[in-house]
Structure 1
């Protein structure tokens, strides 16, 4: 395969990867199952689940002086350091919250209530946690909300469309790294550079929840003020959202305990188990990187691992679109429409949206489940989908989101099932 088409893991590495996750090939009841809804919550690393269970079982409070408390403090310190390794973040503040959505609302509020300006900019494809947060605080602060439109061909938002809305009076730019509807990546590096050229002190917050499990993020190349991700979509556990805030954002007025430093956003007792989950995620990705690199630096091994994950997923995307052996791909199937399809696979995460002739998305999802395949219906009535779908003039789509721990055989099986579903009239 060409670099644009990615490169698959070897069979031996693939087998080791699958072994590190729960329930990749079979459900909890032992039945064979293809779980292709990882954008809604990914497969769990066995090490992450074990780390959470082991640490969360301890009754000790880390805010004490005894031995076990110090042990928990070390876990937190390592987890915070690993967040910085993941993002290549320096300075600023790491913030663990209940959800990534909650943190997004808090970051938007801090900027909108305390930074001057007359407008805020976002895109039509944002997750409700960022779009609704910006809408709410534009209304509360009397600012204009400027929304960049989607590109129906790519499934993303063009950088030009975003930059055209920014001026010297813009308070905040809130933008996602990649769409969880279409999988289209936004050119964050270009957007940040061009936005700051128009307004050097512009605050920028990025929603990386969809994109973080699929490619390298480097805040030294994309210097934003706030960014978040969700461990449960990144091979980890539910129950936390992780954010990094620049120093100037972290020190804006926010809900905090007065005795703590201005840049601290943590409220209440920390949850060391959630920090342990992040370290388990980084350990795993670094292990992937170590299969291909002798790098000793933890960040570099993580980067190598994410690059290999991205390349394998691009190869899976190629197979899904063009076929596996004699099995036809989605592009060649009768009765199937592939949405937002274009040839530059480097600009897409491993998400595909499709439609069926004569079968609406919800019914198609049920047919998939009867055949042992889990996918997700994106429909106009959903608060998580409607605004985005309307921007594409679509009423619905079936979202397919495998993960790097899937193999070409898994893709072939999925495609065979899809042909069966497409034959239903």
Structure 2
């Protein structure tokens, strides 16, 4: 079917905003997407009519309990988890990873090894470096291939030992957009007796996540990267979560996921999270007659991928034709399924900050710098103070916007040289 781009865009009020008569083109999406009106309305409705703390007998507290339970169940459905008991919700992916790293590594011994890939966002690096320093653990670095742009199984195999206790694995890079074969890499680490912690922050906006099919132990993502409120989600296998020591207050329930969720939740954002999952379901209804909620979500992702991938190839091919532009990541159009639509570039003579500033003046929202992809930037010998210009598409972007971006970059580098 033809992707219903007009219907999709109509759900996002921010897309209609103009600055001094100039339309905005949002391609800063890897750092956070815009939200549908339904998500903002769910947050507002809770705050205006149901605001209360949890656990009471009165109506607003009962509604808060319902919203909290539903948010966890909806998140479990979204991730392909067994139940909402497997989903820990918190401030952000980074905050959750720092918090859970203490529980995950509590039983590790000095000299035990953690493998971290060079593809990671700092949110899946800093927590493990910190706990390794605290506990005397050994960190081993797993590089990515500069030709395939992914972590190759043979490179992981060379690092696995009988001391490997954890693999910190990136699903999709927030710098190169490349997608790792998580199922294969997870199986290798599990065979070696290690736990696997997956950062799916950049994958979740574009590809369906199925935690049970991946074979990992933990997977984290961020709702605000896939059209939702600013929350982090962390899935963990229930049997593993139950065995972990919880760092919590004495009065907190020992049930999962309660014992890993610190303090009073942002209940209004939990209401927004359920509305976010509903957005995917509503989109999927346009492509399937199935009444199964997971099928609708899967259909929404497939529809979005079928729409986004040609746009990605158009963006990459157009940028590649601009003299002096280098693209960091997969450029072969036949391999577009192995990347998300995050495209990072540099120019031989125009600094990323100058390109980003000029694009902003044209109403094109992009990020520049290392974007917390600190290890990938170092591995690629990029200047950390400048990094790259990062252009990231979402399912609400259009071909016309992509053509505008290509034309703008061409004008900027031509005029600036």
TM-score past 0.5 threshold: yes
Given the alignment of the two structures, is residue 332 of structure 1 paired with residue 327 of structure 2, yes or no? no
SS, match of residue 75 in structure 2 = helix
Counterparts of 1:13-412 in structure 2, within 5 Å, are 13-27=4-18, 31-57=22-48, 58-91=50-83, 92-116=85-109, 118-199=112-193, 202-238=194-230, 240-251=231-242, 252-259=244-251, 260-263=253-256, 264-322=259-317, 329-343=318-332, 344-379=335-370, 384-395=372-383, 396-412=387-403
User: Can you list the C-alpha shifts for 1:4-39, whole angstroms capped at 9, x where unaligned?
Assistant: xxxx944xx110000111322534766312121100
User: Can you list the C-alpha shifts for 1:353-392, whole angstroms capped at 9, x where unaligned?
Assistant: 111131011111111112221111124xx7x244321201
How far off its partner does 1:49 sit? 1.2
Q: Considering only aligned residues, what root-mean-square deviation do their CA atoms show, in Å?
A: 1.9
Q: Distance in 1 between matches of 2:2 and 2:274?
A: 23
How far off its partner does 1:227 sit? 1.4
Q: Distance in 2 between matches of 1:106 and 1:245?
A: 13
TM-score normalized with structure 2 length? 0.91
Is residue 156–residue 182 contact of structure 1 (8 Å, CA) maintained in 2? no
Is residue 154–residue 341 contact of structure 1 (8 Å, CA) maintained in 2? yes
How far off its partner does 1:262 sit? 4.8
User: Can you list the C-alpha shifts for 1:212-240, whole angstroms capped at 9, x where unaligned?
Assistant: 111011012113222111111110122x2
Is residue 101–residue 128 contact of structure 2 (8 Å, CA) maintained in 1? yes
How far off its partner does 1:156 sit? 3.2
Match of 1:325 in 2: none
How far off its partner does 1:311 sit? 2.1
Q: Distance in 2 between matches of 1:299 and 1:204?
A: 25
Is residue 25–residue 364 contact of structure 2 (8 Å, CA) maintained in 1? yes
How far off its partner does 1:341 sit? 3.3
How far off its partner does 1:291 sit? 0.8
**Contiguous gaps of at least 5 residues in structure 1:** 1-7, 323-328
SS, match of residue 415 in structure 1 = helix
Q: Distance in 1 between matches of 2:373 and 2:352?
A: 13
**Contiguous gaps of at least 5 residues in structure 2:** none
Q: Distance in 2 between matches of 1:283 and 1:59?
A: 21
Q: Distance in 1 between matches of 2:241 and 2:330?
A: 39
